[in-house]
Amino acid sequence: MRRLVAAEWLKLWTVRATGWTLGGTVAVATGFGALIGTSFRDHARSDAAPHFAGSYGLMLAQLCLVVFAVRAMGDEYTSGTIRASLLAAPRRGGFYAAKVVATALAVAVVAALSVAGSFLAAQATMGDAGVAPWSPGAPRALLGGWLYLMLMALLALGVTSVVRRSAAALGVLLPLLLLGSQGLANIPRVGTVLQFLPDQAAGLLLGMAGPPDDPTFARAYGPWTGMAITACWSAAALAAGCWTLHRRDA
């Protein structure tokens, strides 16, 4: 397994887009964190939650990580190297596990840098309204942001393993993240259902949604329950991807 993971790690870094997508994740998260923090300061938003300012950039930065995870699996099929990969590693479960581990390792480091960059940039630009990383609620928001980016990347990897094409996977994921949840979730009746989609479920832990008594951004569950819902989506996607890899020819 160690050799399989090393091989998958090497393949990830032979793709030119890897550096752009991972670097772009950190840049977008930090840049939008600073932008939101500046906006709150300039408009004297004393009621604005500092954790929201530090987390909002992650919702946009996740798109770069989604593209990275999609290409990590989708490029195998697009280039046809999936056949050589399975020839070198006939045990498909081992190959798939190594792919997941290598991708998760890269995402873990980038997610940590992105969460820290977004939070620190937002608090620095908010002025007196900013909070320290150890202030009440901040550690939970930071951990939640890291878990969120990890789970969304694994979700993207699983979906790509099912559809086996990068374009098809992005065609499913990007509308979901940009339109389905972020747009339609603001409609009262529709939002009642869409709050259980993966990106919306983690909103409480990231400080971007409210408890059940919040009239605007309410959720019917608690922060950790919401993250568990997102984790279930990711686990289901990975399981479906593994099943597809075993059942279908390369």
pLDDT tens by residue, 196-218: 888 888 877 777 665 545 555 56
Contacting residues for 24 by C-beta, under 8 A, at least 6 apart: 61, 64
* Percentage with pLDDT > 70 across the chain: 85
152 versus 16: the higher-pLDDT residue is 152
Contacting residues for 207 by C-beta, under 8 A, at least 6 apart: 49, 51, 52, 54, 55, 137, 141, 144
CA–CA separation, 86 and 59 (whole Å): 35
pLDDT beyond 80 at 144: yes
Alpha helix locations (H) across 80-210? 81-88, 92-125, 138-163, 166-175, 188-194, 198-201
Across residues 108-125, what is the average pLDDT? 92
pLDDT beyond 70 at 112: yes
pTM above 0.85, yes or no: yes
pLDDT at 248: 81
CB contact at 8 A, 140 and 52:
no
88 versus 133: the higher-pLDDT residue is 88
pLDDT at 247: 87
pLDDT beyond 80 at 184: no
pLDDT at 217: 56
Across residues 141-162, what is the average pLDDT? 93
| pLDDT averaged over every residue in the chain | 84
CA–CA separation, 249 and 12 (whole Å): 23
CA–CA separation, 118 and 105 (whole Å): 20
Q: What is the pLDDT of residues 36-76, one digit of tens each?
A: 888 877 665 555 566 777 788 888 899 999 999 999 999 88
